[in-house]
């Protein structure tokens, strides 16, 4: 099938699908007026094919149909509950945002819950039980760890560690950064169809969200690993913050957010990621004798693998490049990338919990 044939088939199919996708069902006469109203609305804001798009929205030529373009903000907002080619892009990160919001709230409320539970459970706790629960929790990549930090700590240590107060703010900085990234991405995907200006602005916010997530991911790891070497904490945290602020300033400047500087922007993200190698290698030496090192490293490797695989899908635009038009609604590369970003952030969360447990238990003794 040549280009023109494909185009006409796509247009024809696009029209049929628009009707099935956008209209509400109404089978009786009473609903006739609302049905007509819906038809008129859908005619005013139909889903378009790639060739009908304004130039600023022509980004992925392998996604052929179900585009929104130049929609008012209200219609764009309610398209959250309608099928188009951005529906799953919005929902994957919106659900990720709510997941991290839930984790944040659970961790904020938890100390009181743990304190209360400790009064009842201390005398019934046994080491054997804890070992079993430890293994089960590790199997679920940190998701089972979500709501308790202290249960894996041996009873004796738990009692001794009540005086030990390890700051939680770096952990919450990471949670806030992840929520900001996931929410700004959802908003970008939902509203970027509104206008060229808003599209440019939201794309910049989306880039800033990625930068914020990278920067804030460093905070708990650097803070807890180098807890007992404050000068290294300062060097690494100041370094990544300065680099992050420079990157954000660059991404927000209109002149540097054009296509001409795409390679420069990519280089900035990469240099922020690569910057992490220095404290990571340093951390391995600092924690060489720490028994939790391998578990933490395994979670961090899972995170790196998720991000790298996600970036690979993002850049190669697989699978839609193999079968253009087949993955318009579900299964295209950007959706896979989004899911892998959430998986990567969850792995980092699990690694952070492990490190926090270790510091809560031992303070600086084992460093």
Is cis: bond before 319, omega within 30 of 0?
yes
Q: Please, which residue, 251 or 355, has the CB nearer to Zn ion?
A: 251
Find the shortest distance in angstroms from Cβ 155 to Zn ion.
46
Which range in 179-187, 266-274, 309-317, 324-332 contacts Zn ion by CB under 5 A? 179-187
Angle between helices 87-121 and 333-362 (to 10 degrees): 20
Find the shortest distance in angstroms from Cβ 166 to Zn ion.
35
Find the shortest distance in angstroms from Cβ 189 to Zn ion.
6
Q: Please, which residue, 171 or 313, has the CB nearer to Zn ion?
A: 313
Q: Find out whether 196 is annotated in a ligand binding site.
A: no
Find the shortest distance in angstroms from Cβ 201 to Zn ion.
15
Beta-carbon contacts of residue 95 (< 8 Å; ≥ 6 apart): 342
Q: Please, which residue, 87 or 185, has the CB nearer to Zn ion?
A: 185
The residue count for binding Zn ion (CB under 5 A) is 1
Rounded CA-CA distance 182/210 in Å is 9
Helices assigned H by DSSP within 62-154: 73-78, 87-121, 127-139
Query: CA triplet 131, 136, 138: central angle to 5 degrees?
Result: 95
Residue nearest to Zn ion as judged by C-beta position = 185
Q: Find out whether 231 is annotated in a ligand binding site.
A: no
Rounded CA-CA distance 7/20 in Å is 20
Which range in 4-12, 160-168, 180-188, 325-333 contacts Zn ion by CB under 5 A? 180-188
Q: Please, which residue, 184 or 352, has the CB nearer to Zn ion?
A: 184
Find the shortest distance in angstroms from Cβ 198 to Zn ion.
16
Q: Find out whether 332 is annotated in a ligand binding site.
A: no
Rounded CA-CA distance 51/53 in Å is 6
Exposure b/e, 247-265, CB count within 10 A at least 16 = b: bbebbeeeeebeeebeeeb
Q: Count CB-CB contacts under 10 A for residue 353.
A: 23
Per-residue x/- track, 181-220, Zn ion (CB under 5 A)? ----x-----------------------------------
Q: Please, which residue, 83 or 246, has the CB nearer to Zn ion?
A: 83
> Tokens 């804001």 appear where?
45
Q: Which residues bind Zn ion (CB under 5 A)?
A: 185
**Binding site listing:** 189, 334, 338
């Amino acid at each position: 099938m040549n280009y023109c044939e494909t185009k006409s088939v796509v247009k024809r199919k696009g029209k049929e699908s628009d009707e099935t996708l956008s209209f509400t069902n109404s089978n009786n006469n009473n609903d006739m007026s609302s049905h007509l109203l819906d038809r008129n609305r859908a005619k005013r804001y139909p889903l378009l094919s790639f060739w009908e798009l304004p130039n600023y929205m022509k980004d992925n030529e392998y996604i052929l149909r179900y585009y929104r373009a130049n929609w008012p903000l209200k219609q764009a907002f309610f398209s959250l509950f309608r099928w188009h080619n951005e529906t799953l892009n919005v929902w994957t990160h919106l659900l990720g945002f709510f997941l991290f919001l839930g984790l944040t709230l659970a961790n904020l409320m938890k100390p009181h819950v743990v304190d209360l539970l400790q009064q009842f459970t201390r005398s019934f706790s046994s080491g054997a039980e804890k070992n079993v629960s430890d293994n089960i929790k590790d199997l679920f990549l940190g998701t089972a760890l979500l709501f308790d930090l202290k249960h894996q700590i041996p009873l004796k240590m738990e009692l001794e560690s009540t005086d030990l107060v390890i700051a939680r703010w770096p952990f919450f900085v990471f949670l806030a950064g992840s929520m900001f990234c996931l929410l700004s991405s959802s908003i970008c995907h939902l509203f970027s169809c509104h206008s060229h200006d808003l599209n440019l602005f939201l794309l910049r916010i989306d880039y800033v969200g990625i930068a914020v997530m990278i920067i804030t991911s460093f905070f708990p790891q650097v803070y807890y690993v180098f807890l007992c070497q404050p000068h290294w904490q300062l060097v690494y945290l100041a370094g990544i913050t300065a680099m992050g602020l420079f990157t954000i300033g660059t991404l927000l400047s209109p002149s540097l957010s054009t296509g001409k500087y795409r390679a420069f922007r990519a280089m900035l993200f990469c240099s922020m990621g690569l910057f992490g190698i220095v404290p990571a290698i340093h951390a391995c030496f600092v924690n060489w004798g720490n028994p939790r090192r391998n578990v933490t490293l395994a979670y961090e490797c899972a995170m790196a693998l998720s991000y790298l695989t996600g970036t690979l899908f993002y850049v190669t635009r697989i699978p839609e490049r193999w079968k253009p038009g087949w993955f318009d609604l579900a299964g295209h590369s950007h959706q896979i990338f989004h899911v892998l970003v959430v998986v990567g952030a969850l792995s980092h969360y699990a690694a952070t919990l492990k490190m926090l447990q270790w510091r809560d238990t031992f303070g600086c003794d084992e460093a």
